[in-house]
A = this chain, B = another copy of it.
Amino acid sequence: MPAAPIEFWFEFSSPYAYFAALRIDALAARHGRTALWRPFLLGAVFQRTGMGPLTGQALRGDYARRDWDRLARLERAPFRLPDGFPLKTTAPARMTYAVQAEDPALSARFGRALFEAAYGEGADISDPDVAAAVGAGLGLERNALLRAAADDRWRAELRARTDEAIAKGVFGSPFVIVDGEGFWGADRLPMVELWLQRGGW
């Protein structure tokens, strides 16, 4: 039996998740794993924890903006904060689950393409038309994606996944779970890698 996928929990409106999204599939593959892309609504988690979007926080918001630019330079990745950030991400998240139900690997490619459109190019992926166009670039059916964004099935799926995230202790984005062990933050990808190498410690 192949090893279980690692769970990659994220909010599309999370620049740190963008940086993790650029690396998570390759990281998993180096250890014979895949990454299962699990978007959730961070706003619902914030209601539980009392935290809020980084850019609205005194001191921490200024740090984060500087830090994203610094990370982008370090990793030679393009970066810009999309207009209207923080984004309302129900549409791209529901679309991701609709794709995932048919093809998990394709949903990972779609998720990564959405992140690259948002933070590489500044696209407003909260707009269903914009998100669907990203999918169309991967050969997905644009109209099927638009229907998924408005469909009660995927609305319910996203709610249930967000509840699942909270039940698993996910309190921020990105958050990686390896065989039940959780790791918060893009900064922890090296530790995730070590955990996979050693099988924990």
Q: Is the CB of B187 within 8 A of A63?
A: no
Q: How far is B54's CA from A172's CA once the two chains are assembled, in angstroms?
A: 13
In the assembled complex, the CB of A181 is this many whole angstroms from the nearest CB of chain B, namely 8
Q: A113 interface residue, CB < 8 Å from B?
A: no
Copies of this chain assembled into the complex: 2
**A60 x B171 contact (CB < 8 A):** yes
Which residues of the partner chain B approach A201 to less than 8 Å between Cβ atoms?
Answer: 70, 73-74
Are A182's CB and B58's CB within 8 A?
no
Decide if A85 is an interface residue (CB 8 Å cutoff). Answer: no
Interface string of A16-28 (1 = CB under 8 A from B): 0000000000000
| Chain B: minimal CB distance from A110 (Å) | 28
Q: Is A137 an interface residue (CB 8 A)?
A: no
- Which residues of chain B have C-beta atoms less than 8 A from A67's C-beta? 184
**Is there an interface contact between B48 and A58, defined as CB atoms closer than 8 Å?**
yes
**CB distance B187 to A62 under 8 Å?**
no
Residues of chain B within 8 A (CB-CB) of A133 are: none
A49 touching B60 by the CB < 8 A rule? Answer: yes
The 4 closest A-B pairs by CB, nearest first: A59-B171, A187-B187, A60-B171, A49-B58
What are some 18 contacts across the A-B interface (CB < 8 A)? A45-B59, A48-B59, A49-B57, A50-B57, A51-B57, A58-B171, A59-B166, A59-B171, A60-B171, A62-B169, A63-B169, A66-B182, A67-B184, A70-B201, A74-B194, A185-B187, A187-B188, A190-B190
